[in-house]
């Protein structure tokens, strides 16, 4: 019995104490049975006797057993109250109460009624069992033997069945066997002494409990008087004595006196960018430290150090909360390694499974989660009961932290069974802590700001300094300034202000527009509680989806053209019933082609679709939103057709999605193609330099044709992850032409709205920032100052080199953004949204709706519309955390590939230094995970650099493993079930999203390791020839790559009204020239005729789009003159899929004689625009 005095458990949970309590429990049960004919502890027996006498109709005898039951219940309640109020001291208080009660009963037993004695003993017995729930690692009962007897038998069986040669495998059997013996011994002695000397019989349990109390107090006294000498650490829960350093905007984020990487080197950039994942890692590391302490391989100091590291940031979360964290500290301080491990494992499991959101036992210090299985399965795979969504509310207050627990209890009292949601409060006392909580806690849905808080955090932990260093507002304790800061980083949060000022005047100030509601601080708390629930309900409501669910539950007679509606034709069929069984009945019950009965019309929305679109506009920062059910291809064509007229010029990225090119054909607009910078080594294009775009605008202005350019049409982010500095692009273009329309194709970037780091680079984020800037008094002054410096007529070269400031008095802000909701959010395939922020929208609304009528189906898919509605709900309520998780997944892949020596030998992930030329990275940023990178550099890159990378898009080079992109994509899909995004000649694109988990990462890394291992094995076994063949293949993929062709020019036949310096052309006429079969010809790619005509003419002119995949952009468009560069590229391509090209027939060309008929006059060829690095 070596562990009887072990320091691994708190004294309350040692076997010494448990044996004494079990002995007392048996003794008291024997005493009360002999004296009062009831059991003080064994309430099961009391219940049995109660109902036996009730059935027999002997009511007086039945009532005899009621008082001990009621007393036991009150004792449990009192013990629970003590746990909440006294924390770790509650067991000792409980024992003291029991001693006092028993002592009084022993002295006054002749003067007390039988009822009083029974009540008192049952009451203290209940306090004992509730206050001492554990012995070593196990739950037990000190006042009854049944469960202990079961544990002893199970322990024997587990020891015999385990087969392990471990000295402790019978420990459970020994402990619970000893408890049963002690209980029996107590009962035997109690019966003997009570029969022989009833008047003094209670002295024995009083003496035994006094020994228990002394043991517990000695443990506590010893811990206080003899602290460990190696525990002197910074306490993150106390205010720092070090002077606070103002925020630094230098190259290194300052923490105290030293750079971040010196102060806390293990805090890497990914741990900040992905807060939820970093938190989970911290708790898992804490479990490992507790286990190592218990096993004796590490000391307590490491565990306490890790606990101190996370203590500050854990205050920003409701769970585990201060009570459980204090219990964890108390167990560690008392030397209870096993109890510490048990508790930290329970907390970690609750955090990982999120069971604390539904299971109240997870919040109890002594709670047991046995029998409460977390709801981890999808509803179709297991029965799930009704559950209320959970969120947390941040409360910023000047009240001392000692009062927060009481305030939290008051907030919990406001809960009602009828509430649709359940939430927990999180308290902070400073503006810095409020900012950090908003950044680190994805469960927040609302913030309540009281007056009187401090600005500076009471903590001085490095992770907090990293976070607060990014606050750009000045140091102030102004509630309104804090509200504006929080709205900037988390616009989806509802903000409430509690003020002692004249709230009537305050409510009328413009800066209060960020608040949902203002309360006078002395008003009823219930109103604030109801407002919080109402705010979340407003975001939770999905107007179309809610009505579709109601519609599906109604009895409907369908006499319209949709036989599949209601599912009768499916479920009554012997031949297609399996489809109904696969999809389930709701899909068919919700199908309808009707727009009445609670539904709405997508073409002319006036009801719930209109309301759903309005909610989406709020969520994504737009003025209007249009739901589109046939993909962003349609969204793009709708926007182009509505905003451009025949003959208008649009500056277009030549590498944009084909829908933009087809939109130009439909509108009759003339695309002026601008080139992105090339990444020839990887057969990719990047994004279009701003200099190139400005050059095109200035050329148009020089020729007096600036009025004809109506739109700049760009892709953000690009397929490969290049993100524009959208605000800078729009501002500088508006400085040249203040009424330009901007169409940003953000098909892959919709999620970025819900990242405070990426949001400013979205179209709507930048448009809102520009709009706010226009209202600032200093904006006009900045413009006037720059104009004075540039002079009246600055040269084009000066304008190209200058970061231009637009005139805020002339800007007509017109921004459109298309979004493939299904690509990055929880929407069904082809779900898309079109966002509008256009001060002139009223002038184009009519043609915009015509474009909707042109492209939108009159029979849209109801489920698809509902999924757009639901996707908006999800992103407003949990998008922040989901996006952080997607970024974490991307970083995990990057780190795992780079860290594995075998994988990194054959595969690599491209960083910003490989994907973005240095001239576009003025901050010097290289990659998210590069050595020495800190958050100062990242934030500067996101703010200033012309291009940066979407962290969720990962270009994995596979050419160094002798696989081309198409080949490797096929291998991953067919052999391992891994689907990847696009491919290039020597790479594949991986994309993390809100659906990915770390298990997905583990699977990918295991597969890459297996493939790399096979390569290694084949090379080692294949000899010299195998190595030569491998090297030759790698060289052909990585070195012998074809040059990427730029857009040449439109043939003069399609440039009748074009300029001399610009390359726009009539793509519509070029497109329809292919409809004249007699005017077209085909020449095979390998035919010598192509080479002859390239040398001697006549020119080769494409009759259609030619789009090789990969890389996925058109290398030929209708009406384009084909160059040697384009032919060489096509001949070197080894891809199987080339849209618009038939290898049997060859290239489709417009015959020279047809061109002659089309051209009314000829112009000399206009020079093509070159990338910015070559522009003069």
**Which among 209, 191, 168 has a CA at the least distance from the CA of 22?**
209
Rounded mean pLDDT of 1037-1049? Answer: 89
Query: Of 31-40, 79-88, 335-344, 529-538, which gets the smallest average pLDDT?
Result: 79-88
Cis peptide bond prior to 984, omega within 30° of 0: no
pLDDT score, position 1127: 92
- pLDDT (average), residues 81-95: 67
Q: Report yes or no: 37 and 65 within 8 Å, Cβ to Cβ.
A: no
Q: Tell me whether the omega of the peptide bond preceding residue 65 falls within 30 degrees of 0, making it cis.
A: no
pLDDT at position 782 over 60: yes
For residue 55, is pLDDT > 90?
no
Please state the length of the chain.
1176
Q: Are 764 and 622 in contact (CB under 8 A)?
A: yes
259 DSSP β-pair partners: 254
Count of other CB atoms within 10 angstroms of residue 1175: 14
Which residues have a Cβ under 8 Å from the Cβ of 699 and sit 6 or more positions away?
Answer: 1059, 1061, 1062
The torsion of the CA quartet 486, 488, 492, 497, rounded to 10 degrees, works out to 40
Predicted confidence (pLDDT) per residue in 637-649, tens digit: 999 999 999 999 9
Alpha-carbon distance of 990 to 909, in angstroms, equals 10
Phi/psi region, residue 393 (left: phi>0; alpha: psi -120 to 50; beta: rest), is beta
CB–CB of 515/483 below 8 Å?
A: yes
The CATH code of the domain at 880-1038 is 3.90.1150
Cis peptide before 759 (omega within 30 of 0): no
DSSP string of 111-130, one letter each residue: TS-HHHHHHHHHHHHHHHHH
Contact criterion met (CB below 8 Å) for 442 and 887: no
Band of pLDDT at residue 227, cut at 50, 70 and 90: very low
**Residue 386: pLDDT band by 50, 70, 90 thresholds?**
low
Distances from the Cα of 924 to the Cα of 759, 761, 840, 917, 939, angstroms:
21, 19, 39, 11, 12
Q: What's the sign of the alpha-carbon dihedral 455, 460, 461, 466?
A: positive
Positive or negative: CA dihedral 995, 998, 1003, 1008: positive
* CATH class given for the domain over 622-863: alpha beta
Hey, which bits of 30-149 come out as E strands? Answer: 134-135, 138-139
Q: What is the dihedral of CA 860, 866, 867, 872, to 10 degrees?
A: 120
Residue 591 in this model has a pLDDT that exceeds 90 = no
User: Would you say 1087 and 1096 are in contact if contact means Cβ atoms under 8 Å apart?
Assistant: no
Predicted pLDDT at 25: 85
Range of lowest pLDDT (258-262, 299-303, 317-321, 338-342): 258-262
Q: What is the mean pLDDT of residues 49-69?
A: 79
Identify which has the larger pLDDT, 528 or 508: 528
CB 308 within 8 A of CB 350: no
DSSP state letter for 802: S
Closest CA to 1170 of 549, 657, 675: 675
Which helix (H) or strand (E) element contains residue 744? strand 741-745
Distance CA 492, CA 497 (A): 16
CA angle 719, 720, 724 (to 5 degrees): 85
Backbone angles phi, psi at 919, to 5 degrees: -65, -20
**pLDDT tens, residue by residue, 893-945:** 999 999 999 999 999 999 999 999 999 999 989 988 887 776 677 888 988 99
Give the percent of the chain with pLDDT over 70.
Answer: 84
Give me the mean pLDDT over the 802-813 stretch. Answer: 97
Give 295-328 pLDDT, tens digit per residue: 888 888 889 889 988 888 899 999 999 899 999 9
- DSSP 8-class letter at 7: T
Distance of CA 488 to the CA centre of its chain: 18
Single out the residue of 1135, 1088, 1096, 1145 nearest to residue 1113, CA to CA: 1135
- Between 691 and 1136, the higher pLDDT residue: 691
* CATH class name, domain 1052-1158: alpha beta
pLDDT at residue 1022 tops 60: yes
Cα dihedral angle (837, 839, 842, 846), rounded to 10 degrees?
A: -50
Average the pLDDT over each of 401-415, 929-943, 1077-1091, 1099-1113 and give the range with the smallest value: 929-943
Backbone angles phi, psi at 710, to 5 degrees: -110, -25
The mean pLDDT of 836-848, rounded to a whole number, is 95
Name which of 235-249, 424-438, 935-949 the model is least confident about.
235-249
Assess contact for 650 and 671: CB atoms under 8 A: yes
Encode 595-622 in three state secondary structure.
Answer: CCCCCCCCCCCCCHHHHHHHHHHHHHCC
φ, ψ of residue 711 in degrees (nearest 5): -145, 145
Domains 387-540 and 622-863 share a fold: no
pLDDT at 229 over 50: no
- Closest by Cα among 478, 509, 481, 483 to 496: 483
Q: How far apart are CA 450 and CA 72, in angstroms?
A: 43
Residue 875 has pLDDT above 80, yes or no: yes
Q: In terms of Cα–Cα distance, which of 913, 982, 993, 923 is closest to 952?
A: 993
Largest CA distance in the chain: 129
pLDDT band for position 1068 (50/70/90)? very high
Look at residue 795 and tell me whether its pLDDT is greater than 50.
yes
CA distance 384 to 387: 8
| Cβ-Cβ contacts under 8 Å for 683 (sequence gap 6 or more) | 984, 985, 986, 1041, 1042, 1044, 1110, 1111
32-46, 98-112, 559-573, range with the lowest pLDDT:
98-112
| All structural domains of the chain with their residue ranges | 2-225, 266-370, 387-540, 622-863, 880-1038, 1052-1158
Q: Which residues contact 1002 (CB under 8 A, 6 or more apart)?
A: none
How much is the pLDDT for 266? 39
Of 128 and 413, more confident: 413
Q: Using pLDDT thresholds of 50, 70 and 90, give the confidence band for residue 985.
A: confident
Contact between 747 and 950 under an 8 Å Cβ cutoff? The reply is: no
Residue 447 CA: distances (Å) to CA of 443, 482, 517, 597, 754: 11, 11, 11, 38, 17
Q: What H or E segment, with its residue span, contains residue 444?
A: strand 444-450
The mean-pLDDT minimum among 158-172, 460-474, 480-494 falls in 460-474
State the pLDDT at residue 1071: 95
Q: Please spell the DSSP secondary structure of 146-181, one letter per residue.
A: HHHHHHHHHHHHHHHHH----TTTTHHHHHHHHHHH
Using one digit for the tens of pLDDT, what is the confidence trace for 1111-1165? 677 889 999 999 999 999 888 876 778 889 998 999 999 999 999 988 754 444 5
Question: What is the distance between the alpha carbons of residues 980 and 967, in angstroms, rounded to a whole number?
Answer: 12
The confidence score (pLDDT) of residue 298 equals: 84
**C-beta of residue 501 within 8 angstroms of C-beta of residue 487:** no
Confidence class for position 877, pLDDT limits 50, 70, 90: very high
What CATH topology corresponds to 387-540?
Rossmann fold (3.40.50)
221-235, 574-588, 596-610: which has the highest mean pLDDT? Answer: 574-588
In whole angstroms, give the CA distance from residue 25 to residue 204.
12
> How many of the other CB atoms lie within 10 Å of CB of 630?
17
Give me the mean pLDDT over the 18-37 stretch.
Answer: 84
- Give phi and psi for 498, each to the nearest 5: -105, 120
pLDDT at 1165: 53
Cα–Cα nearest to 204, from 218, 194, 215, 195: 194
Share of the chain above pLDDT 90, in %: 53
pLDDT (0 to 100) of residue 478:
87
Q: Give the 3-state secondary structure of residue 659.
A: helix
**End-to-end Cα, the chain, rounded Å:** 88
CATH 1.10.40.50 fits 2-225, yes or no: no
- Give the model's pLDDT for residue 41: 64
Q: Which residues pair with 741 in a beta bridge?
A: 711, 814
Strand 741-745 versus strand 709-715 pairing type: parallel
- pLDDT, one tens digit per residue, over 959-983 is 999 999 989 999 999 999 999 978 8
Instruction: Show Cβ contacts of residue 774 under 8 Å, excluding neighbours closer than 6 positions.
Output: 808, 811, 813
């Amino acid at each position: 019995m070596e562990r009887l005095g072990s320091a691994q458990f708190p004294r309350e949970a040692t076997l010494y104490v448990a044996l004494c309590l079990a002995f007392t429990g048996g003794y008291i049960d024997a005493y009360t049975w002999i004296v009062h004919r009831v059991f003080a502890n064994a309430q099961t027996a009391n219940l049995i006797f109660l109902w036996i006498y009730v059935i027999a109709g002997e009511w007086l005898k039945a009532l005899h057993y009621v008082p001990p039951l009621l007393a036991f219940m009150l004792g449990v309640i009192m013990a629970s109250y003590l746990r909440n109020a006294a924390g770790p001291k509650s067991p000792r208080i409980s024992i003291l109460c029991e001693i006092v009660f028993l002592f009084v009963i022993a002295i006054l037993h002749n003067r007390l009624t039988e009822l009083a004695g029974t009540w008192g003993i049952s009451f203290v017995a209940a306090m004992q069992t509730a206050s001492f729930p554990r012995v070593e690692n196990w739950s037990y009962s000190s006042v009854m033997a049944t469960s202990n007897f079961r544990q002893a038998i199970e322990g024997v069986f587990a020891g015999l069945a385990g087969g392990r040669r471990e000295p402790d495998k019978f420990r459970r059997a020994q402990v619970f066997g000893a408890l049963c013996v002690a209980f029996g011994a107590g009962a035997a002695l109690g019966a003997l002494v009570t029969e022989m000397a009833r008047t003094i019989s209670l002295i024995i349990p009083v003496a035994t409990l006094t020994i228990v109390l002394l043991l517990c107090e000695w443990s506590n006294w010893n811990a206080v008087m003899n602290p460990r000498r190696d525990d002197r650490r910074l306490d993150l829960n106390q205010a720092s004595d070090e002077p606070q350093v103002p925020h630094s905007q230098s190259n290194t984020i300052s923490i105290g006196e030293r750079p971040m990487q010196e102060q806390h080197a293990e805090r890497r950039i990914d741990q900040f960018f992905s807060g939820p994942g970093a938190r989970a890692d911290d708790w898992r590391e804490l479990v490992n430290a507790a286990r190592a302490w218990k096993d004796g391989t590490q000391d307590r100091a490491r565990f306490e150090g890790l606990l101190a590291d996370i203590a500050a940031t854990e205050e920003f979360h409701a769970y585990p909360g201060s009570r459980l964290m204090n219990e964890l500290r108390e167990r560690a301080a008392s030397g209870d390694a096993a109890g510490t491990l048990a508790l930290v494992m329970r907390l970690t499991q609750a955090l990982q499974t999120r069971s604390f959101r539904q299971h109240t036992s997870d919040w109890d210090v002594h709670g047991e989660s046995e029998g409460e299985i977390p709801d981890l399965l999808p509803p179709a795979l297991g029965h799930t009961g009704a559950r209320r969504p959970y969120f947390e509310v941040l409360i910023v207050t000047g009240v001392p932290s000692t009062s927060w627990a009481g305030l939290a209890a008051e907030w919990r009292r406001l809960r009602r069974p009828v509430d649709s949601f359940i939430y927990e409060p999180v308290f902070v006392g400073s503006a810095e802590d409020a900012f950090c909580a908003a950044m680190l806690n994805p469960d927040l849905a609302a913030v309540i700001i009281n007056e009187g808080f401090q600005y500076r955090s009471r903590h001085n932990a490095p992770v907090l300094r990293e976070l607060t260093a990014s606050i750009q507002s000045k140091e102030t304790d102004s509630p309104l300034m804090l509200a504006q800061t929080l709205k900037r980083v988390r616009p989806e949060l509802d903000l409430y202000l509690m003020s002692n000022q004249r709230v009537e005047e305050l409510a009328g100030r413009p800066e209060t527009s960020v608040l949902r509601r203002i309360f006078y601080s002395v008003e009823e708390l219930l109103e604030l509680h109801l407002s919080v629930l109402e705010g979340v309900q407003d975001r939770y409501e999905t107007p179309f989806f809610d009505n579709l669910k109601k519609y599906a539950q109604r009895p409907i007679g369908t006499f319209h053209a949709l036989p599949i509606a209601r599912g009768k034709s499916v479920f009554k069929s012997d031949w297609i019933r399996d489809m109904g069984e696969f999809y389930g009945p709701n899909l068919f019950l919700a199908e309808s082609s009707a727009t009445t009965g609670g539904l709405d019309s997508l073409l002319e929305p006036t009801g719930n679709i209109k309301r759903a679109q309005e909610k989406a506009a709020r969520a994504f920062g737009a003025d209007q939103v249009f739901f589109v059910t046939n993909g962003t291809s349609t969204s793009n064509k709708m926007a182009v057709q509505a905003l451009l007229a025949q003959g208008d010029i649009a500056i277009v990225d030549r590498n944009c999605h084909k829908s933009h090119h087809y939109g130009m054909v439909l509108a009759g607009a003339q695309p002026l193609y601008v080139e992105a910078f090339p990444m020839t080594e990887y057969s990719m294009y990047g994004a279009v330099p701003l200099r190139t775009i400005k050059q095109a605008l200035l050329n148009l202005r020089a020729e007096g044709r600036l009025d004809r350019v109506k739109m700049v049409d760009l892709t953000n982010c690009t397929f490969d992850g290049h993100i524009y500095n959208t605000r800078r692009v729009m501002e500088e273009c508006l400085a040249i032409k203040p009424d330009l329309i901007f169409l940003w194709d953000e098909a892959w970037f919709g999620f970025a709205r819900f990242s405070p780091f990426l949001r400013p680079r979205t179209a709507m984020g930048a448009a809102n920032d520009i709009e706010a800037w226009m209202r600032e008094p200093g904006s006009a002054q900045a413009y006037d100052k720059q104009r004075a410096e540039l002079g009246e007529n600055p040269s084009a070269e000066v304008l190209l080199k200058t970061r231009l400031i637009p005139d805020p008095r002339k800007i007509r802000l017109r921004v459109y953004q298309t979004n493939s909701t299904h690509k990055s959010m929880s929407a069904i395939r082809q779900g898309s949204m079109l966002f509008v922020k256009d001060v002139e929208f009223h002038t184009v609304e009519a043609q915009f709706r015509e474009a909707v009528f042109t492209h939108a189906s009159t029979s849209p898919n109801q489920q698809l519309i509902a999924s757009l509605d639901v996707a908006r709900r999800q992103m407003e309520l949990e998008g922040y955390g989901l996006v952080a998780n997607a970024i974490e997944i991307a970083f995990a892949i990057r780190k795992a590939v780079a860290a594995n020596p075998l994988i990194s030998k054959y595969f690599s992930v491209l960083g910003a230094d490989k994907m973005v030329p240095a001239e576009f990275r003025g901050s010097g940023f290289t990659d998210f995970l590069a050595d020495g990178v800190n958050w100062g550099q990242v934030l500067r890159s996101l703010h200033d650099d012309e291009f940066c990378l979407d962290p969720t898009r990962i270009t994995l080079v596979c050419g160094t493993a002798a696989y081309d992109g198409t080949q490797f994509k096929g291998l991953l899909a067919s052999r391992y079930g891994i689907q990847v995004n696009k491919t290039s000649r020597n790479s594949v694109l991986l994309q993390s999203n809100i659906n990915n988990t770390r298990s997905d990462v583990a699977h990918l890394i295991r597969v890459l390791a297996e493939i790399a291992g096979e390569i290694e094995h084949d090379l080692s076994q294949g000899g010299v020839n195998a190595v030569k063949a491998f090297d030759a293949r790698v060289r052909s993929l990585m070195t012998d790559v074809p040059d990427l062709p730029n857009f040449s020019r439109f043939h003069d036949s399609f440039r009748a009204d074009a300029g001399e310096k610009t390359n726009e052309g009539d793509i519509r006429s070029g497109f329809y020239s292919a409809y004249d079969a007699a005017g077209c010809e085909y020449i095979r790619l390998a035919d010598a005729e192509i080479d002859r005509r390239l040398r001697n003419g006549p020119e080769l002119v494409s009759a259609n789009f030619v789009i090789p995949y990969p890389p996925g952009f058109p290398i030929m468009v209708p009406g384009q003159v084909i160059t040697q560069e384009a032919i060489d590229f096509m001949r070197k391509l080894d891809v199987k899929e080339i849209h618009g090209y038939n290898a049997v027939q060859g290239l489709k060309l417009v015959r020279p004689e047809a061109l002659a008929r089309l051209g009314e006059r000829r112009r000399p060829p206009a020079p093509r625009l070159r990338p910015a690095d070559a522009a003069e």
